[in-house]
Chains A and B, each alone.
Chain A
Amino acid sequence: MTTVSVPPVALPAFDRGRAGLVQQVRSEWTKLRSVRSTWISLAVIVVAGVGLSALVSSVEGGRWAQLGFADRAQFDPVRFSQTGEFLSQFVVGVLGALVVTSEYGTGSIRTTLSTTSRRTTVLAAKLIVIGAVVFVVSEVTAFASFFVGQAVLLAHGGRALPAGSTILDQIHSTSIPVVSITDAGALRAVFLCGVYLLLLTLLACAIGFVLRHTAGAISAFVGILLVLPLIVQILPTSLTHSFEKFLPSNLGLAMIVVTSRKTDFAGVLLTPWAAVGLLSLYAVVVIVLAAWLLVRRDA
């Protein structure tokens, strides 16, 4: 039988400072890395991102000669390389929500909140850790997808269009266009792919704090990305045009469209950095709501 004795491990004195953000960030990182779903989700982001880029670039590269004018005009080698982002936005949504709702689901949120006397520290630490992890993985994936995509296009006889080429030049080009990361807008578009996924992650995490249920939080997140656009579509046309550019999904599109090649999006989308600003604003609003509710509600 175990009897209790004076603990041999001396704990550091705790008369100074307080359990704060640094300690909480360490803890959240331990929690994040110690469950399997994190690594599966991150692997899906990387594999789907790079894999889909290789796949669609290969398909499109192989049939350039058969494409009609409209398809050729719309072809954007950067956006094509980021096809996987459509899937990844849901993966990061689930990941961001689960960081919070899995704790509410199991009740372990009460353990988390009983180790700190400032609840907003928990919110901040979760946003920092999941945000940092998703951002790094998303950026690596976005750039890898870009380079893999362009390499596949090159392998299919792709060629860079001369500087100053227009959409007409692209339509009449005999080989599928390829872009370099140094081309106008390309670096920004690829970089903002990661930023878009980061902002969605923070949004999902904050929704998790507001709704506190996995199914509810994920439904809300998917609803914002998939259902909201459908609702806006059935509004009278004039209203649709006023609202659709503010939809989170279209803000994402605005971030990765290379505007120098824009064709069908003219006037429909915000500029890339305005889109970053507005989506950040959405995230901040939900985060503030989450913080307010977290401090007020019983755990």
Chain B
Amino acid sequence: MITASRVTKTYGRTRAVDDLSFDVRPGVVTGFLGPNGSGKSTTMRMVMGLDRPDSGVVTIDGRRFGDLRWPLREVGALLEAKALHPGRTAYDHLLAMAQTNAVPKARVVEVLGLVGLESVARRRVGKYSLGMSQRLGIASALLGDPGVLLFDEPVNGLDPEGILWVRTLLQGLAGEGRTVFVSSHLMSEMALTATDLVVIGRGRLIAQTSVDDFIASNTVSTVLVRSPGAGELAVSLRAAGGGVVVRDDGGLLVTGLEVARVGDLAHAAGVALHELSPLQASLEEVFMELTSDMVDYHGHAPVEVGT
């Protein structure tokens, strides 16, 4: 169980986390979703006692990080995969971590096997690929066999096989009754991995819900219409209460009206239709829409769906 209660953290003039509260329950994978720069890593660092909240409290099983007596045995984290001394071997890196909490050497060997790094354990980690570093980071999180686990973007740099492996691993860990909190900026990845979601944007909570509810309540059905009389049709669709966005290619994206109603309105207006198709907004689009006003750095292609 991880609990954040009204947590705020400011760096200089930037409010990274703003009055954020959420619970992460044991037994399921909880996705921590937000655009880059939305405060996910800051929140995870505060869970791990690395950054101190300006106000509010973060607890692990009811206790602050500073009150844990054997931290590695109670909470494991993969925060930055590449935060390693390049000249040290994976084995020595894990051994040094293990020794801080009296974890036996045999466990070091075991977690190396668990993540598939045993054959390169004696190699300097400076030579590791990002994917190998991610695996080492996962090994270090598992080292103390903790009941609470945090993973910050664990699938970065992994190949499809590695991504599938992480997904299975995370679900397996949750299945053992552990609290598993995984951040990602990819909604689609979380839809496959997580059961619960904590969604943030600009440091604020947008939603705490299950993945299923999140999708059901946020997916807006849209109708795509192409017509030679698009301008005329748009007027009557708007008059009927629909939202209409004209795409660059002349197509109309209609929200708030059923497909059949759009067809009827076209007929009533005497406008010919070249295309009439329902669109389901993808999860990624839902997520981007929800956080669109919360992204610090926009590209120049605004998302039109659902406007």
Task: Evaluate whether A116 and B71 lie within 8 angstroms (CB atoms) in the complex, with A11-B103, A35-B85 already known.
Answer: yes
Q: Cβ of A14: which chain B residues have Cβ within 8 Å of it?
A: 69-70, 73, 101-102
Q: A299 on the interface (CB 8 Å rule)?
A: yes
Q: B106 on the interface (CB 8 Å rule)?
A: yes
A23 touches B101 (CB 8 A): yes
The one of A1, A12, A17, A110 that contacts B79, using a Cβ cutoff of 8 Å: A110
**Nearest 6 CB-CB pairings of A with B:** A107-B83, A34-B92, A4-B172, A18-B69, A115-B100, A27-B99
A35 touches B88 (CB 8 A): yes
Q: A172 on the interface (CB 8 Å rule)?
A: no
Closest approach, in angstroms, between the C-beta of A212 and any C-beta of chain B?
14
Task: Evaluate whether A116 and B100 lie within 8 angstroms (CB atoms) in the complex, with A7-B145, A14-B73, A108-B83 already known.
Answer: yes
Bound complex: CA of A27 vs CA of B84, how far in Å? 15
Q: In chain A, what residue has the closest Cβ to B51? A: A298
Interface of A with B (CB < 8 Å)?
Answer: 1-4, 6-9, 11-12, 14, 17-19, 23-24, 26-28, 30-31, 34-37, 102-103, 106-108, 110-118, 298-299
Closest approach, in angstroms, between the C-beta of B128 and any C-beta of chain A?
13
Q: In chain A, what residue has the closest Cβ to B89? A: A34
B114 touches A2 (CB 8 A): yes
**Which residues 152-179 of B sit at the A interface, judged by CB distance below 8 A?**
164-165, 168-169, 172-173, 176
Q: Which of B28-36, B42-50, B266-274, B285-293 contacts A (4 or more CB under 8 A)?
A: B42-50
The one of A9, A23, A113, A299 that contacts B99, using a Cβ cutoff of 8 Å: A23
Closest approach, in angstroms, between the C-beta of B201 and any C-beta of chain A?
22
Q: B304 on the interface (CB 8 Å rule)?
A: no
Q: Is the interface of A mostly helix, strand, loop or mixed?
A: loop
Closest approach, in angstroms, between the C-beta of A16 and any C-beta of chain B?
9
Q: B228 on the interface (CB 8 Å rule)?
A: no
Counted as pairs of residues, one from A and one from B, with CB atoms less than 8 Å apart, the total is 134
A4 touches B114 (CB 8 A): yes
Task: Evaluate whether A4 and B97 lie within 8 angstroms (CB atoms) in the complex, with A14-B73, A107-B82, A298-B51 already known.
Answer: no
A117 touches B68 (CB 8 A): yes
Q: B96 on the interface (CB 8 Å rule)?
A: yes
B104 touches A11 (CB 8 A): yes
Q: In chain A, what residue has the closest Cβ to B144? A: A11
The one of B50, B92, B102 that contacts A23, using a Cβ cutoff of 8 Å: B102
Bound complex: CA of A110 vs CA of B65, how far in Å? 13
**Which residues 79-128 of B sit at the A interface, judged by CB distance below 8 A?**
79-80, 82-89, 92-93, 95-97, 99-104, 106-107, 110, 114-116
Bound complex: CA of A31 vs CA of B168, how far in Å? 32
Q: Cβ of B50: which chain A residues have Cβ within 8 Å of it?
A: 110, 113-114, 298-299
Q: B52 on the interface (CB 8 Å rule)?
A: yes
Bound complex: CA of A35 vs CA of B51, how far in Å? 28
Q: B72 on the interface (CB 8 Å rule)?
A: yes
Q: B66 on the interface (CB 8 Å rule)?
A: yes
Q: B148 on the interface (CB 8 Å rule)?
A: no
The one of A2, A24, A37, A107 that contacts B87, using a Cβ cutoff of 8 Å: A37
